[in-house]
Amino acid sequence: MKVLVFDNYEAASEHAAQLVEAQILENNQSVLGLATGSTPIGLYKNLIEGVKARGISYKNVSTINLDEYIGLPREHSESYHTFMAENLFNHIDISIDNTYIPDGMSPSPEEECVRYEENMDRVGPIDLQILGIGSNGHIAFNEPGTDPDSLTHVVELVASTREDNARFFPSIDDVPTHAITTGIKSILRSKKIILIASGKGKAEAVKQLLSKEISQDFPASYLWNHNDVTLIVDQDAYALVQTEGQ
């Protein structure tokens, strides 16, 4: 795992964008794995700027998102469909037919998982996967205890994840209880992975990740089983690692 530490969120986001754009310049038909949450918003802002400022085109790019809440209609303000439209897709020249996000309103979420995994096989492999990290070490919605051999599956969100995400909803009772998420195995099939962590709230998680202990209790630790992972952190998220090392 390559660890890159930046002064702040802006610098970290800018660097992540440079890596994504380098991937697209290398292969304009790249398949990107995309994440939601607060963390990648800065990256997406930079990618939007890159369309005009650097002439980057997403015309032939495909994207596969990590997860979606179950029970939120696509047009709900907090669905990951809406998040991706507002924070990226509406502002770049991507064809919406080339973007994939699980359908959280499927009458059979289990069948949707199978369909989504088939999509990944057909469209993929993912050339470059973007990840954030939950404060409990989750990646996508793979909560602690997730099987490392997991493919796309239905997950019940743990209390801490619902609390973390309650800031986006009127109250915690409005946060969905379940989600569809790509699995650990689905994520590790990506050719390259970038994990971004920013802010003090992620400092414990980054410290745990960099302890290199691989454990089912901390899903992000499975990234140590992949040979091309770049961790992009800002000083706040790296703070506990530095303190311990001095």
- Any idea which residues carry the catalytic annotation? 67, 136, 138, 143
Shortest gap between Cβ of 1 and ligand GLP (angstroms)?
17
Binding track, positions 137-176, relative to ligand GLP; x by CB under 6 A? ---xx-------------------x---x-----------
CA distance 229 to 58: 23
| Helices and strands (DSSP H and E) totals, the chain | 8, 10
Q: Which one of residues 132, 137, 176, 219 is an interface residue with ligand GLP (CB under 6 A)?
A: 132
The residue of the chain with the least Cβ separation from ligand GLP equals 132
The set of long-range contacts for 75-82, using a CB threshold of 8 Å and a minimum separation of 24, is: 78/168, 78/169, 79/104, 80/36, 80/104
124 scored as a contact of ligand GLP (CB under 6 A): no
Backbone angles phi, psi at 57, to 5 degrees: -120, 140
241 scored as a contact of ligand GLP (CB under 6 A): no
Structure tokens at 55: 């002439």
Q: Which one of residues 3, 4, 8, 38 is an interface residue with ligand GLP (CB under 6 A)?
A: 38
The closest of 153, 148, 152, 231 to 192, measured between CA atoms, is 231
Structure tokens at 145: 């205890």
Shortest gap between Cβ of 70 and ligand GLP (angstroms)?
13
Binding track, positions 78-117, relative to ligand GLP; x by CB under 6 A? ----------------------------------------
119 scored as a contact of ligand GLP (CB under 6 A): no
CA distance 89 to 96: 7
The closest of 185, 196, 45, 190 to 129, measured between CA atoms, is 190
Segment interacting with ligand GLP, rule: CB under 6 A, options 22-30, 37-45, 89-97, 236-244: 37-45
66 scored as a contact of ligand GLP (CB under 6 A): yes
134 scored as a contact of ligand GLP (CB under 6 A): yes
Segment interacting with ligand GLP, rule: CB under 6 A, options 7-15, 55-63, 117-125, 134-142: 134-142
Q: How many CB atoms lie within 10 A of CB 110?
A: 12
Backbone angles phi, psi at 114, to 5 degrees: -65, -45
CA distance 77 to 92: 20
Helix axes 80-87, 41-53, angle to 10 degrees: 40
Segment interacting with ligand GLP, rule: CB under 6 A, options 34-42, 85-93, 106-114, 204-212: 34-42
Shortest gap between Cβ of 67 and ligand GLP (angstroms)?
5
Q: Which residues bind ligand GLP (CB under 6 A)?
A: 35-39, 66-67, 132-134, 140-141, 161, 165
